[in-house]
């Protein structure tokens, strides 16, 4: 898949919520069994939200970027994984954070995704921890 096969956009929670929620619930609640009440939180309205759209306009991935530089709720629909979408989305978010003067991008990665984030330049920090029943590690881009 090339960048011409999908489009990345960002906006506020009000404008992207309906499509982002479908992806987040599909990946986190249905696939990974995260309790529904933990998936949406009070931070969503304060974040910049991202959607990736396939060439036909369907939303296929999402993530959010908090004012403190934390990247979160990154999810790619199962049929679209392994095509470079997550990497392109993460690069777009990091570029945006730097251009906007936000603090150094950081995230809480599921341990199964550590390799993905390491390939993007993130470094694991501190001990592992549980979040919604899933093992995680804090990760940060070097300054």
Residues in a beta bridge with 109: 137
d(CA 63, CA 51): 7
Cβ contact 102:76 at 8 Å: no
Helix (H, G, I), strand (E, B) or coil at 24: helix
d(CA 102, CA 92): 14
Residues in a beta bridge with 72: 64
Per-residue pLDDT of the chain (143 residues; tens, 9 = 90+): 444 689 999 999 999 999 999 999 999 999 999 988 888 889 999 999 999 999 999 999 999 999 999 999 999 999 999 999 999 999 999 999 999 999 999 999 999 999 999 999 999 999 999 998 899 999 999 98
pLDDT of residue 2: 47
d(CA 137, CA 123): 10
Cβ contact 106:71 at 8 Å: yes
Strand order in the sheet with 59-65: 6-11, 48-54, 59-65, 70-76, 106-110, 134-140, 123-131
In 3D, which of 96, 30, 31, 99 has the Cα closest to residue 63? 96
Please give the domain boundaries of the chain with CATH numbers for all domains.
3-102 (3.40.630.30)
């Amino acid at each position: 898949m090339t960048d011409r096969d999908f489009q990345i956009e960002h906006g506020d929670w009000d404008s992207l919520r309906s499509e982002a929620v479908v992806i987040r619930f599909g990946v986190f609640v249905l696939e990974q069994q995260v309790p529904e009440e933990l998936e949406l939180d009070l931070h969503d309205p304060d974040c910049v939200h991202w959607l990736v759209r396939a060439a036909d306009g369907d939303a296929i991935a999402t993530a959010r970027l908090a004012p403190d530089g934390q990247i979160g709720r990154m999810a790619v629909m199962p049929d679209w994984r392994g095509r470079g979408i997550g990497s392109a989305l993460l690069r777009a978010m990091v570029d945006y954070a730097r251009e906007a003067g936000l603090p150094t991008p950081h995230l809480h990665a599921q341990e199964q995704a550590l390799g993905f984030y390491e390939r993007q330049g993130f470094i694991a920090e501190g001990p592992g921890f549980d979040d919604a029943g899933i093992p995680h590690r804090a990760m940060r881009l070097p300054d």
